[in-house]
Structure 1
Amino acid sequence: MEYAIDFGTSNTVVARINDKGEVETVKLADYSCLIADNPPLIPSLVYVQDAAKEQVLIGQEVSDRGFDFQVRNPQNLNNEQRFFKSFKRAIGSNVSMFVPELDGREVEFELVGEWFLKKIIERLPNVDSLIFTVPVDSFESYRNWLGGVCEKLAVNQVRILDEPTAAALGYGISGGDETLLVIDFGGGTLDLSLVKLSFAQVQIETNQSKSPLDFLLKWGDRTIKNSSPSNNPNSQTAKVLAKTGQNLGGIDIDNWIIDYFHKELGLPKNSLVTRLAERIKIALSSQESVTEVYFNDQTFESYELTLTRSQFRQILEQQQFFGNLDSALDRVRQQALRQNIDLANVDAVLLVGGTAQIPAVREWALQHFPSQKVKGNKPFEAIAHGAISQGWELKDFLYHSYGVRYWDKRYKKHNWHTIIKSGATYPLEKPVELTLGASIADQPSIELVIGELGETNVEVYFEDQRLVTRVLDGKQVAAQILNENSKAIAKLDPLGQVGRDRLKVLFQVDEKRTLRITVLDLLTKQKLLEDIAVVQLV
């Protein structure tokens, strides 16, 4: 059986197609949180009982035992270190952070995430294949980590789909062509995607006969082919027109509320205050004013934490929250205009994710779009339901750019030269060429540092044992090195000399999304490397 998993910063949703052929959200005993008017969500929480034996509690069973309400003090500091939330954001990032040692073992966020998903997947019956949804701004290291987790569990097939595109499919179509703007605002990320859904007659050649497809996902002239053709002659097409994303989500808003009460009341920054801040944020979605009580069992003082919607909006404005939303929308608008598409003509604006349910977010959307177009009736399940609604063999476009690192003499620091631009379809029509030379006399070899490049206007850093987001004044290049352990691409014989072109490097991305290189020695006319895989771009 195939399952779709929307692994979220705050909550995780699992979906499948049941025996009746209907898409349903899977409820897992002990793990799922059952709240009125909400689908069965699995809180993305982990409590480590014994790290050496890999014994952990996850989801609702963490809350049921009260571990998410542990207060940081000398009596329960160990419990505090054993409790993990919002760990998804740190997975695959290059942020330096505190790594606790529990039971003689260092527990990194990647390991916590692995334990969390492992417990969920092991509870699912008859797992043949999995579809994971990921933020559009996720780096390949995060996608590779997902693949590694599934490889350890011997899952036969793993596919990946970006979250806002899945959300558009999850809301479905009304029977005609539609252009949808998806605003996916969860606990850790903000993703916007413009997707064109339409009916089309599509046929493909097979070894035996022609068969129609249910869904195709296109970027330019590239196509995602369905792995299990259906008997429906009216196949549907989902074309991604534009998308953008950034590290900004509900946990940042929680941190801003904590900072507000820390400044106003002198409250400490611990897990209990964090949980209270989260409860206040959620309650303000349906109430004009919320009050929670915090009791400090060390000083025996109690505090009333009161926040109104007006005060909450002021906090958001001070943190440039709405400016960030405007910037993200502008990036999608610019991409759309390059294709002669006006966002004013979209058929619907879909609000997805818990953070998108904040009234201030909906009010922001209504400032840009008519009320009849803004929809938010499926905030938690749309992504997982959209991912499982069809069988996918994903071949998406390259969202990030890829480049090589060089020493910038002008600014006296390393910088990046782009070799493959964002939005490129693959396999590449022709290889990208780069000529290299020696930087010192008698150089024995040449190294090439290859990185995945993106842009960001937010900085994520670790403070007071929490991941914090800070809005930057301008955009910065965000880069992750892909070949950390294999930088040397060629030994030079004879030795390289300054001022002479020595190597020609050909870069190619094949149909399996693998970055490959061929290296030619311009002096000896020999091929030193031919079509060597550098990294799998999952």
Structure 2
Amino acid sequence: MENIKYENLPMGKVVGIDLGTTNSCVAVMEGGKPTVIANAEGFRTTPSVVAYTKNQDQLVGQIAKRQAVMNPENTFYSAKRFVGRRVDEVNEESKDVSYSVEKSGSSVKLKCPILDKQFSPEEVSSQVLRKLADDAGKYLGEKVTQAVITVPAYFNDSQRQATKDAGKIAGLEVLRIVNEPTAAALAYGLDKENEKILVFDLGGGTFDVSVIEAGDGVTEVLSTSGDTHLGGDDFDRCIVDHLASTFKSNEGIDLRQDKQALQRLTEAAEKAKIELSNATQSEINLPFITATPEGPKHLDLNLTRAKFEELAASLIDRCKTPVERAISDAKISTSEIDEVVMVGGSSRIPAVLDLVKTIIGKEPNQTVNPDEVVAVGAAIQGGVLAGEVKDILLLDVTPLSLGVETLGGVMTKMINRNTTVPTKKSETYSTAVDGQTNVEIHVLQGEREMASDNKSLGTFRLDGIPSAPRGVPQIEVTFDIDANGILSVTAKDKGSGKEQSISITGASTLSDNEVEKMVKDAESNASVDKEKREKIDLKNQAETLVYQTEKQLGELGDKVDAAVKSKVEEKSNALKEATSKEDYESMKKLLEELQQELYAVGSSVYQQPGNQPPSPGSAGGPEKNDSNDKGSDDVIDADFTETKD
């Protein structure tokens, strides 16, 4: 195994990562153009799935998704729906996954029975980020340490901070958090001149709408709206509920109570949803879905597009309000929108496309790849921050209003939604009672009038206010939002000069100590995981070489000298035995020795009368097997030219 040395390399590339609910994608600027990087398995998107096996091996991506049905309680997906949120905010979402969502204080933890351990959603997300960064590093030939990561535009402060924490746990310096629809518009509007673009982003777990003006290298967000509880997972769930209720009425068994059956239903629902974007019906056939004393039970059902649209009618209807609100907040009419860009896998649903066409009055633009455009935009922003890309300016906004709780439990807004970030705003408040020597600042985010109806971001206390009649002290509260949309708040008593500040780390986010511990855990496990991966690769190479050896000897038959053949068989059997015993040192040694013996086989065959020697530079043995080999007997076809003396 070749170990790449990173120490003496210059500062690495800044990658753009779309950390999705269902799938994730990574891109980078190369030669002035964004390039989507394929993962180690050769795919341009990676399932946002992490699993732990009975051997306590960690799996990430496609390989984790493939084994989910057999290992539902230790396979974690849709973690993005839990990131930066409290337990009381995820009651519904926790019912829709096959793993256990538990409470730790007010924080969300995901239970992993096989390790007897709990993970934070940020840790699970960090493993996906780590894989994307590692795959990008292999492609670029240098370690990736810096990234721009995208989040739904409607993510609140806690969710944004939690996403930054996930990046840190993965060993990444997150240079910027960018809103997903803004990144999409940046990618789409790069060569546009003064266009107003509506980005409709319906992903796996979230829904965002942004109205953006693009032109002359400036991408300016005019407004944003959305729903962080609406996405492809919800469309899958309405199919799952239909399948489960149909089966229950026919067989009297609720498949939702069986985690393995629920996982199979979920996968079948996602497949049917995708098929129904191109076909008018989908056949759902799940044999042996459960069993009773009478024998096995099968699920076989035909789902039409019309039935799916009926089941999903309320979800499709929920897409309407954010679109109308975004247009209204941008203070434009639908006729002023030049393009509608569709982003996210669920934006392909025909009923969703029809809804957008009805509201806007024009055909949505489907020329961009909805699975990749967000990562491409993030890579462009990464290029801007790295100084590779010039003359591009991104002006994003804060999605929700920010304020403080004032007398009577009222939310007093200090920064209104759709304010361009970064921004800073100060307001002066006073005391509510005579002789009050401290004030408690309760920081809120949302659009409701009463404090209790909004998202609480945190509280802090300013002490040391000189005793005075109510209304006399002057307390200046300053809200400062950075370019990531992350808030810090300062309160200062103008009389005494006393000051207190808070960087928002609400109950739903991790403390600095927790993040640091997770970073160390990830670093210590990285070498163990790498060692395990190398052993798996070595075993795959050994098994493939043994198979190719047996196949080659069988095909050549008597053409191989008996003594040479005996030697090869001896080495092949020894390698087979070492592989079965998982003796990796012997495996490595025997792998090289068998390779040499196979070269001897090639030479002995060509030395026989009537056989042409191989042309210079041709290989005498089987081709090199890389780490992505699935153990198939694929060979490379070569063109041969007949030569005559």
Task: Normalising by structure 1, report the TM-score.
Answer: 0.74
C-alpha change, 1:502 and 1:345, in structure 2 (3 Å) is closer
Amino acid at match of 2:255: P
Cα separation, 2, equivalents of 1:49 and 1:260: 31
- Does residue 59 of the first structure (1) align with residue 32 of the second (2)? no
Q: How does 1:260-299 map to 2 (within 5 A)?
A: 260-266=242-248, 267-269=254-256, 270-294=262-286, 295-299=288-292
* CA drift at 1:152: 3.9
1:434 to 412, 429, 435: 429
Corresponding letter in the other structure for 2:266: T
Deviations 1:252-273 (A, max 9, x none): 1111111122222215121111
Q: What residue number does 1:401 align with?
A: 401
Paired residues of 1:398 and 1:425 also in contact (CA < 8 A): yes
- Residue 491 (structure 2) pairs with residue 518 (structure 1): yes
Residue 451 of structure 2 is aligned to residue 451 of structure 1: no
Does residue 507 of the first structure (1) align with residue 497 of the second (2)? no
- For the aligned residue pairs, the C-alpha RMSD in angstroms reads 3.1
Flag the structure with higher strand content: 1
Aligned match for 1:423, one of 418, 432, 449: 418
* CA distance in 2: counterparts of 1:395 and 1:169, whole angstroms: 10
CA distance in 2, matches of 1:381, 1:168: 12
Q: Which amino acid aligns with 2:187?
A: G
1:68–1:275: 8 Å Cα contact kept in structure 2? no
Q: Deviations over 1:37-70 (max 9, x none)?
A: xxx110111112389x8x521111113xx42223
Partner secondary structure for residue 437 of structure 1 = coil
Contact in 1 for aligned 2:395/2:420 (Cα 8 Å)? no
Find the aligned partners of 2:474 and 2:54 in 1 and give their Cα distance. 52
Shift of 1:154: 4.5
CA displacement at 1:367 relative to structure 2: 1.9
Deviation at 1:385, TM superposition (A): 1.0
Shift of 1:12: 0.4
Structure 1 residues 50 and 361: CA distance shift in structure 2, 3 A? same
Cα distance in structure 2, aligned partners of 1:397 and 1:335: 12
CA distance in 1, matches of 2:435, 2:360: 63
Instruction: Give the whole-Å Cα distance in 1 for the aligned partners of 2:202 and 2:497.
Output: 49
Asked if the contact 1:137/1:399 (under 8 Å) is kept, the reply is yes
Q: What's the counterpart of residue 110 of structure 1?
A: 122
CA contact (8 A) 2:164 2:174 kept: no
Deviation of 1:477 after TM superposition, in Å, equals: 4.2
Match of 2:497 among 527, 534, 538: 527
Aligned to 2:204: 187
| Contact 2:158/2:505, CA 8 A, preserved across alignment | no
Partner of 2:456: 480
Range with bigger deviation, 283-292 or 163-172:
163-172
> What is the CA–CA distance in structure 2 between the aligned matches of 1:163 and 1:24, rounded to whole Å?
17
* Contact kept in structure 2, 1:92 and 1:145, CA below 8 Å: yes
Q: Distance in 1 between matches of 2:291 and 2:465?
A: 67
Checking the alignment, whether the CA contact within 8 Å between 1:44 and 1:59 is kept in structure 2 is: yes
Taking a change above 3 Å as real, the CA distance of residues 503 and 275 of structure 1, as seen in their structure-2 partners, is same
Aligned equivalents of 1:511, 1:171: Cα separation in 2 = 25
CA contact (8 A) 1:452 1:482 kept: no
Which of 117, 134, 157 is the aligned partner of 2:151?
134
Aligned residue for 1:93? 85
Contact 1:94 1:480 in 2 (8 A): no
| Within-5 A mapping of 1:332-343 | 332-336=326-330, 338=331, 341-343=332-334
Deviation of 1:316 after TM superposition, in Å, equals: 1.6
- Cross-structure match for 1:27: 38
The answer on 1:41 being equivalent to 2:45 is yes
Quickly say closer, same or farther: Cα 1:431–1:165, change in 2 above 3 A. Answer: same
Superposition deviation, residue 503 in structure 1: 5.6
TM-score for both structures, normalised by structure 2: 0.63
Helix, strand or coil at the partner of 2:357: helix
Q: Gaps spanning 5+ residues in structure 2: where?
A: 1-12, 89-93, 95-100, 103-110, 138-142, 249-253, 257-261, 386-393, 510-645
| 2-structure distance, mates of 1:46, 1:24 | 25
* Max Rg structure: 2
Q: How many Å separate the matches in 2 of 1:62 and 1:161?
A: 28
How far apart are residue 428 of structure 1 and its match? 5.2
The code of the aligned residue for 1:58 comes to: V
Label 1:177 to 1:430 Cα distance change in 2 as closer, same or farther (>3 A).
closer
Whether the aligned pair in 1 keeps the contact of 2:180 and 2:374 (CA below 8 Å) is yes
Q: What amino acid maps onto 2:456 in structure 1?
A: Q
Identity %: 24
Match of 1:306 in 2: 302
Q: Determine which structure has the larger helix proportion and give its number.
A: 2
Instruction: Give the distance between the partners of 1:534 and 1:437, measured in 2 at CA.
Output: 25
Specify whether residues 534 and 94 from structure 1 end up closer, same or farther in structure 2 by C-alpha distance, changes over 3 A only: same
Q: 1:386 to 1:503 in 2, by over 3 A?
A: same
Residue 378 of structure 1: which of 369, 375, 390 is its match?
369
* CA positional deviation for 1:189: 1.0
Question: Structure 1: how far apart are the matches of 2:422 and 2:39?
Answer: 40
Q: Is the Cα–Cα contact under 8 Å of residues 509 and 515 in structure 1 kept in the other structure?
A: yes
Partner of 1:224: none
Find the aligned partners of 1:288 and 1:407 in 2 and give their Cα distance.
Answer: 57
